[in-house]
Amino acid sequence: MFFERVYDETLAQASYVIGCQSGGVAAVIDPKRDIDTYLEIAEKNQLKITKVLETHIHADFLCGSRELAHATGAEIFVSDEGDEDWKYDFSSTKLKDGNTINLGNLSIEALHTPGHTPEHLSYKLIDHPATDAPIMLFTGDDLFLGDVGRPDLLEQAAGIQGTQEEGAKALFQSLSVFTSMPDYVQVWPGHGSGSACGKALGAVPSSTIGYEKIRNWALQLLDHEKKFTQELLEDQPEPPTYFAKMKQLNKEQRPVLSEIPEIKHLNQTEWNTLKAEGKMIVDTRKVIKYREKHLKTTINIPNNKSLSTWMGWFADYDDVIALVATEDEIKEIARKLMRIGLDHNLSYITPDELLKWEKENLSNYKVIEKSEVKKLMKDEDVQVIDVRGASEYKENHIDGAKNIFVGNLEENIDQIPTHKQLIIHCQTGARAAIAHSILQKNGIQNSFNYAGGMDDWLED
């Protein structure tokens, strides 16, 4: 048997390649959209990808099943469980609970485990030459390491009201499917630490049923449904706005990409036109570089592990978007953005071009230290804006701070007391930098960035 985990750190998303080496065939579970990774794995290990499986209709990334099937001729398998509103609308083989997929000497059994979503499937793997008992369990977004999937996304992100309590009840019942398996069965989840699909995901790649029975909070409450539901729904992180778009695109027919899209390099005339039209401009340079010289009409979303998530928060999928990025980084950025369906209407200029073409229009800002924050806060005309999530603010915050999550900041600009001197902060400085650029873009200039954030504030 062949097995390899493929992990996308930018979305904390795991996919899996499973192969029968004697038969020379492989299956991929929940592939990302840039499929060259899987093609290289298959070629290196002399395997042919013949099957592609999805655990559910994903909200946080655009699944690459159709791209992979288009490139390899593989058969796509998806869930046929759940209500009619969440049936897949593209050509695929539909699975019910208990259906089995044969892969050479391996078999993969579909298990209907609703909760995170109504149609959610987990997959039980059996390596028949070794044993007829299960050896691996691919739990998608239902059972994580140390946590379980959130059932509120259909309501919070997709706007389907009244579904989170139903999802919590279904998830509570689904957990017994997992705990009924032998303790040695390996657990391979769809996400790791950093994903917005849960609130306390573990950072290690895998676990076992037995270990999760010991350490996973949810599996300690299987006799207490009310307490389980309360704990599950409380303090979940804010779901990115692009999740609703991903639900739609993962469910419906859509164009298939055959390669990493090329982002157009603008000339100066095209740049000036785009800028004059007020199109969205995202500067992907590191915060310190942006801080030194930038256009006030831009948003600073640095090209790091969080780029695609924050782009999903702020980008309009139907609008033209210009990036400021180096030529060396632009293909990497294109790869990250295609994973959330941002694969069109993109263009860019380089930082050198920005500094040359906009030399007379560039601004800068400075960060302030804790001592200055404390001094400023003695003035009643100063307002601290905490742009962390609601659960972080609930845990601890600066007295008098107003909480507006950075992802919702632009739509809540009217809540900003512009007649006061503003101090923006988050936990470590990264989100505050984004927030500061959003305020500037919206014409609010009277803000200081307290880059140290709560980590610095809580230090002695």
Mean pLDDT of the chain: 94
Q: How far apart are CA 213 and CA 3, in angstroms?
A: 25
Which of 153 and 454 is assigned the larger pLDDT?
Answer: 454
Q: How far apart are CA 23 and CA 20, in angstroms?
A: 5
Single-letter amino acid code for the residue at 52:
V
Q: How far apart are CA 16 and CA 39, in angstroms?
A: 13
Q: How far is CA 150 from CA 132, 278, 297, in A?
A: 32, 37, 36
Cα end-to-end distance, the chain, whole Å: 54
CB-neighbour burial class of residue 107 (10 A; exposed 0-12, middle 13-18, buried 19+): middle
Q: What is the CA radius of gyration of the chain?
A: 24
**Contact between 310 and 300 (Cβ < 8 Å):** no
Structural domains for the chain: 2-251 (3.60.15.10), 264-357 (3.40.250.10), 370-457 (3.40.250.10)
pTM value is 0.94
CB-neighbour burial class of residue 319 (10 A; exposed 0-12, middle 13-18, buried 19+): exposed
% of the chain beyond a pLDDT of 90: 88
Which of 258 and 342 is assigned the larger pLDDT?
Answer: 342
* pLDDT for the residue numbered 156: 64
As a whole number, mean pLDDT of residues 318-341 equals 96
Token couple for 70: 């288009």
Q: How far apart are CA 41 and CA 438, in angstroms?
A: 41
What backbone torsions phi and psi does residue 398 show, to the nearest 5 degrees? -75, 135
The model's pLDDT over 369-413, given as tens digits with 9 standing for 90+, comes to 999 999 999 999 999 999 999 999 999 999 999 999 999 999 999
Residue 273 per-residue DSSP state: H
Q: How far apart are CA 62 and CA 251, in angstroms?
A: 10
Number of Cβ within 10 Å of residue 343's Cβ equals 18
The model's pLDDT over 88-123, given as tens digits with 9 standing for 90+, comes to 999 999 999 999 999 999 999 999 999 999 999 999
Q: Is the pLDDT confidence value at 347 over 70? A: yes
Kindly give, in sequence order, each residue whose CB lies less than 8 Å from that of residue 113, ignoring residues fewer than 6 positions away.
120, 121, 122, 139, 140, 142, 143, 174, 177, 178
Q: Is 121 left (phi over 0), alpha (psi -120 to 50) or beta?
A: beta
Single-letter amino acid code for the residue at 425:
H
